[in-house]
Structure 1
Amino acid sequence: MDIKAYIESGILELYVAGALSEAENKEVYALMQQHPEILQEVLDIELAIVELTASVSQSTTRKSLELIKKTLGFNGTDDAKVISIAKPKYNWITYTGWAASIILAVGLLWTVTQNNQLKSNIQTVETQKSQLEIEIEFAKTNLDKAKTLISVLRDENITQVPLTGQGPFAATYAKVYWDTNAKRIFLDVDGLPDPPQGMVYQVWSLTLNPLTPVSLGTLDQFTTDDNKIFEIANPNQSEAFGITLEPAGGSASPTMEQLYTLGVVASS
């Protein structure tokens, strides 16, 4: 029998751990009685484990060793049969290294998991923060617009121009609040329906004699603007305002067949 190969096979560690079958345990026990080298190896393994659990008292350790010897059937006279090895192959440092490796691996796994969770939480917080910043900015913009509109409505110098529905669009309406000092208008188009696909409302400043239309731009955000109030620059000496429906991008001159609303500025 190759005792060295048997010792290195790992079966003795399994024996000490109690992981062998009853038949295998009997086999190892018989070989321990026949070969002092195997017995010594088992004792070395047991000793390493006992030292690894050094939290127990020294008296408990000694009792454990005596119990091992007693269980194996060796008394004081049999000790002379045990071959002493100066440096056991399996010492407490070896098993401590295994334990440290396991602890380190578990620690690294926990750290990686926590880092991934932390990164996920940070991304979630950053996303929520960005969304909140957008909502705050949107609310601030709406508040600023509301304050501006209130100041315009309360200003006695603001010229109000009602725009009434024309021809087949008689049910429509709009209203212009013209701030001549700031050269701008606030156009309320809540009385207009959503434009058809591919079409857009275009706003015109008109002089009447001769009739000259000047485009003030298109209402490209009509369907997405909940308030339906638009601030538009108007540096013109307007005598009337009109709104037509035009192809997307607007037209160079108004399509009179699509004139929705028209209003004349009252004489001062």
Structure 2
Amino acid sequence: MEEYIASGTLEFYVYGLLSEQENIEVNEMAKKHKEVASEILAIEKAVINLSYAVSPHLSAENFEKIRQKLIEKHNGVVQLEPKRGTSQYIGWAAAVVFMLGFAYQYVKHNEAAEQVKGTTAQRSKFEAMLADAQKRNTEHENALAIVRDTLNTPVKLAGQAAAPQAYATVYVNKVSKDVYVDVSGLPKAPEGKAYQVWALKLDPFTPTSIGVIDDQTLRSGMFKLDSNAGVQAFGITLEPAGGSKAPTLDQLYTLGKV
């Protein structure tokens, strides 16, 4: 009888892997031999306990089905407490249940990894947007401080023939002589071009470059220029990227006298 119990037939019987004839034979053996019936019940309890412990989420539905089936089979409640003497089934049942649990954990791990990846990308995007917003806010605050400073004298630069709708404002500090220009009224420079600001002396006409404004600076609105003593006017021309040694007068966008 011990050899029959150790053969593995009862384990296959519990999992429903035997043929109809083999199931009949096991049932007959269980009726005739109490130790066989007890062994079958022990295996069923061990498998249920192990299924619930190793993979509770994956096997919840199957666990309940098995539990109900065993209750009906034995006309009573199947206790789920571990039973001494069932350790010989652990290796056999764990191979099946652990694979199910591992597959479940693998899928969940991949899902979690994808969620973390997506969350990280969203967070990085949000942080970049926040940093950009903070930068723009700082730029706007600095520009507002320049406009409000009573020591800064504004010089209006009107649009010229090359761009009648363009405009700009230069601010010259009476004390520090610092020079700033608000270029928010200039259109986006064409590819490969940049705006260049000139400090002008009119008699004789002497242009001095005091700053080249790239597209990034143009978006920020306010730009600090080099100081130039004795300036009588300011002009802004469209030049090749990097600036020119002398202004391209037919590309004069704005001009204003101090």
Specify the TM-score bucket, using the shorter chain as the normaliser.
0.5 to 0.7
Match in the other structure for 1:231:
223
Q: How does 1:75-94 map to 2 (within 5 A)?
A: 92-94=86-88
Question: Partner of 1:254: helix, strand, or coil?
Answer: coil
Question: Partner of 1:100: helix, strand, or coil?
Answer: helix
Q: Deviations over 1:181-203 (max 9, x none)?
A: 45543322343333333322211
Q: Deviations over 1:131-183 (max 9, x none)?
A: 23222222222222222222222222111111122235334322112235455
User: Is 2:44 the partner of 1:53?
Assistant: yes
User: Is 2:142 the partner of 1:151?
Assistant: no
Structure 2 contact 217–223 (Cα < 8 Å) conserved: no
Decide which structure has the larger Cα Rg and report it: 1
Q: How many residues align?
A: 215
Q: Deviations over 1:26-76 (max 9, x none)?
A: 9x85xx99xxxxx69x97875533222358xxxx9xxx8xxxxxxxxxxxx
Percent of aligned pairs sharing the same letter: 35
Structure 2 letter corresponding to 1:234: D
Cα shift at 1:11: 7.5
In structure 2, what is the Cα distance between the partners aligned to 1:139 and 1:259? 33
Match in the other structure for 1:162:
156
Cα distance change, pair 113–13 in 1 and its aligned pair in 2 (3 A): closer
Question: Which of 237, 258, 263 is 2:251 aligned to?
Answer: 258
Q: How does 1:209-224 map to 2 (within 5 A)?
A: 209-221=203-215
In structure 1, what is the Cα distance between the partners aligned to 2:193 and 2:111? 49
Structure 1 contact 177–185 (Cα < 8 Å) conserved: yes
Most deviating of 93-102 and 146-155 = 93-102
In structure 1, what is the Cα distance between the partners aligned to 2:103 and 2:13? 31
Unpaired runs of 5+ residues, structure 2, are: 47-69, 75-84
In structure 1, what is the Cα distance between the partners aligned to 2:164 and 2:14? 100
User: Is 2:201 the partner of 1:207?
Assistant: yes
In structure 2, what is the Cα distance between the partners aligned to 1:48 and 1:131? 61
Cα shift at 1:100: 2.4
Cα distance change, pair 182–46 in 1 and its aligned pair in 2 (3 A): farther
Question: Partner of 1:193: helix, strand, or coil?
Answer: coil
Cα distance change, pair 216–102 in 1 and its aligned pair in 2 (3 A): farther
Question: Partner of 2:115: helix, strand, or coil?
Answer: helix
Structure 2 letter corresponding to 1:97: G
Question: Which of 101, 110, 115 is 1:107 aligned to?
Answer: 101
Question: Partner of 1:263: helix, strand, or coil?
Answer: strand
In structure 1, what is the Cα distance between the partners aligned to 2:43 and 2:14? 14
Match in the other structure for 2:110:
116
Unpaired runs of 5+ residues, structure 1, are: 34-38, 65-90
Structure 2 contact 236–253 (Cα < 8 Å) conserved: yes
In structure 1, what is the Cα distance between the partners aligned to 2:178 and 2:88? 86
Structure 2 contact 189–215 (Cα < 8 Å) conserved: no
In structure 1, what is the Cα distance between the partners aligned to 2:217 and 2:86? 78
Cα distance change, pair 18–261 in 1 and its aligned pair in 2 (3 A): closer
In structure 2, what is the Cα distance between the partners aligned to 1:188 and 1:241? 12
In structure 2, what is the Cα distance between the partners aligned to 1:197 and 1:161? 28
Structure 2 contact 199–208 (Cα < 8 Å) conserved: yes
Cα distance change, pair 181–106 in 1 and its aligned pair in 2 (3 A): farther
Relative to the length of structure 2, the TM-score reads 0.65
In structure 2, what is the Cα distance between the partners aligned to 1:128 and 1:184? 42
In structure 2, what is the Cα distance between the partners aligned to 1:112 and 1:194? 52
Structure 1 contact 205–239 (Cα < 8 Å) conserved: yes
Structure 2 contact 194–215 (Cα < 8 Å) conserved: no
Give the root-mean-square deviation of aligned CA atoms: 3.8
Question: Which of 232, 240, 244 is 1:247 aligned to?
Answer: 240
